Amino acid sequence: MTDSPADATPYEVLGVPATADDDELRRAYRRAARETHPDLGGDARRFRQVQIAWERIGTPAARRAYDAGSRASAPRTASGPSGSSVWSHDDGGGFAPPTARRDSRPRARSHGHPGGRSREVFLQAEREWVGLGDPIEDPYDPALVRSAPRHIRRLLAEALAEEATAAIVSEMGIGVSVWHDLDAGAEGKLDHAVLTPSGLWAVESIDWGAPVRIEHGEIAGETLAPGERPVKELVRAARAVQKQTRVKFTGRLMVVPDAAVDEDVQVVGPARKPTALLVRRSALGQVLNGVFSPEGSVDVFEIRDRLQQTVRFV
């Protein structure tokens, strides 16, 4: 369990409403602990989730703090960018949009607004859920976000994931260019196009709030929506942008939080010609630097000029 808004809340893990009294909460914890205990045939990961959930809301004081919106002390590597970044959150890891840091270090050339469209969609969905006539003092208040349905919280998690990728890419220096929120026409949008000396990469940043795996050439996991096919969607969006710009992508990357996968990089599709790579967030820089690139390099200046002339943003 992480601080990702896409992750299950402690109440969801224990299977009780947020209005449950202390006795009901205690019974739910004991039941969940028995059902998930590895010595009783349960799943070790789920058992650990139950224990973390109980730590967060198992005592009246802890529950009051959680319900009031306090942040849990989870490691940032699981849900945020690795290392420092050009963007920072004012509360040290909150849900509000990041603010630009003012320093003189050289950054990647960045175009577009990472996470911008995802935040717009989240705010609209949150407004409809709360009620169009009811004021929202702070749409990113952790207490409000945690009380929202999980499908709404996932919209915010997608924005945070895109911003985390943008932060990592920005640290790669002025020799790198990145375009965010590219218009892919009927296919929606492509989160990022990253141009490095090793190639041009189509990148999707996403957080399902739970572990994922590769099955039959697709991403699978218990929190994916029915019929959701993220690899297919990435391929279609990349092809749409490729057709629009007449620039060929070197490869496609699906970037997920570190806690979502057990390996840094996994190949989706045939090993000789992958459909995409499933990449742990902390390994993104390594991949973009050319570890998995075909032999040879690309004409960075020509591709950058063409993209600048042809790319459209959502």
Given this model, what pLDDT does residue 238 score? Answer: 98
User: How remote is the C-alpha of 33 from its chain's centroid?
Assistant: 29
Given this model, what pLDDT does residue 75 score? Answer: 39
Q: How far apart are the first and last CA of the chain?
A: 32
8 Cβ contact partners less than 8 Å away, ≥ 6 residues apart: 1, 49, 150, 209, 210
Given this model, what pLDDT does residue 272 score? Answer: 87
pTM: 0.86
Class of domain 10-67: mainly alpha
Given this model, what pLDDT does residue 217 score? Answer: 94
Q: Per-domain residue ranges for the chain?
A: 10-67, 107-310
Rg (alpha carbons) of the chain, rounded to whole number: 21
Given this model, what pLDDT does residue 106 score? Answer: 86
Given this model, what pLDDT does residue 195 score? Answer: 96
Reported in sequence order, the residue ranges of the chain that DSSP labels E, i.e. its strands, are: 87-88, 99-100, 109-111, 177-183, 189-196, 199-205, 213-215, 218-220, 251-256, 265-268, 276-280
E strand or H helix at 300: helix 300-310
Encoding tokens for residue 147?
Answer: 């009380």
Given this model, what pLDDT does residue 86 score? Answer: 35
Given this model, what pLDDT does residue 94 score? Answer: 78
Average pLDDT by stretches of 10, the chain with 314 residues: 86 94 95 95 93 95 88 43 39 72 82 96 96 87 92 96 96 95 97 95 96 96 93 98 95 96 95 94 93 72 95 96
